[in-house]
Amino acid sequence: MSQPATPLSDEDQQQLVRQIGRAMLPALPPDWQKVRAEYRAAGRHIEVDLAFSGPDGQLRPVRPPMEVVQLFGQLRSGMYQPDRGTWLSAVYEIEAPAAFTVDFEAEEEPRWRNVPPPIGFRDELQTFPRPDERIPDWWRQRVGLPPLPQPEPEQPQEYQAAEQPVENAAMRTARVYDGKNDEGRIFVNRQPVEPHLLEGLIAYLEAAPVVLAARNYDTDEFSPTEQDVPLNFRTDGTWIWAGAVPHYLRKYGLPPEPELVAHAVSRNFQVGEVDEATQDLAVSIITGQQ
């Protein structure tokens, strides 16, 4: 299996993008106003279109310089990532004198002039391997791969009064949210809190004793210009949660973990007493000293 070239740093990628822009200029007349290049590739199959517009705004095709083709290929190879492959098409636009934009697409099928044969897509996977789940359905059809299994439909979660066993029978720590995607954006896959439970739930989460706290506040992850998130931890003796949990629930309606909501409902939103030994145990779990 052939391997992609050494990945380019962000700085090297930007430098190569600028080189591509400069390499287009010899193909253009002096009065050009806008230029558009589109590069499409699958394995050894490569298509490059270059067009410009002058003062009349009419796009006119021109033959792309070979240097443009080669530099696009270097950029595509250098942007390869093992966990997602590399892009299949790029659109590069320049407006005189120097404003430009570049857009890359790694999964949508390019608008081919001539659709590559199946071997082109197989070569692409050999040269730029990517995880199975990153191969879209249109591509799978072209190379004879079975379709990806469809995810099971999610069943609506219901708040049950009965407590579920947990791995750490002493204490369980609630996650503020479920995770972040490749772009660093927060995602949550939870049932919204029913309106008639909201007030009691917030009161419960804010009534439990604070076992660890800082004097300052943390940055709001949904609004980075605001710094109003309490830097503290509370416990009711069964669960531990950060101050961000009730804060984001109150501010944005971000639901806590369903099991924590069910736990609070089962207690009729009454925290109860949390003895000193239990609070000390919570601190040891939070600080990783257990």
Taking only the tens place, the pLDDT of each residue in 52-111 is 999 998 999 999 999 999 999 999 999 999 988 999 999 999 998 878 899 999 999 999
Contact 135, 145 (CB under 8 A): yes
- In 3D space, the residue among 76, 91, 83 whose CA is nearest the CA of residue 7 turns out to be 76
**Distance, CA of 146 to CA of 135 (rounded, Å):** 11
Contact 149, 155 (CB under 8 A): no
The reported pTM is 0.52
Is residue 4 over pLDDT 80? no
Question: Quick one: pLDDT band at residue 290, thresholds 50, 70, 90?
Answer: low
Q: Give the pLDDT confidence score for residue 236 in this predicted structure.
A: 95
Tell me which DSSP letter residue 130 carries: -
The CATH 3.30.500.20 portion of the chain extends over 10-143
- In degrees rounded to 5, what are phi and psi of residue 184? 85, 10
**Distance, CA of 71 to CA of 22 (rounded, Å):** 11
> Average of pLDDT values for 269-274?
92
Please state which architecture CATH assigns to domain 10-143: 2-Layer Sandwich (3.30)
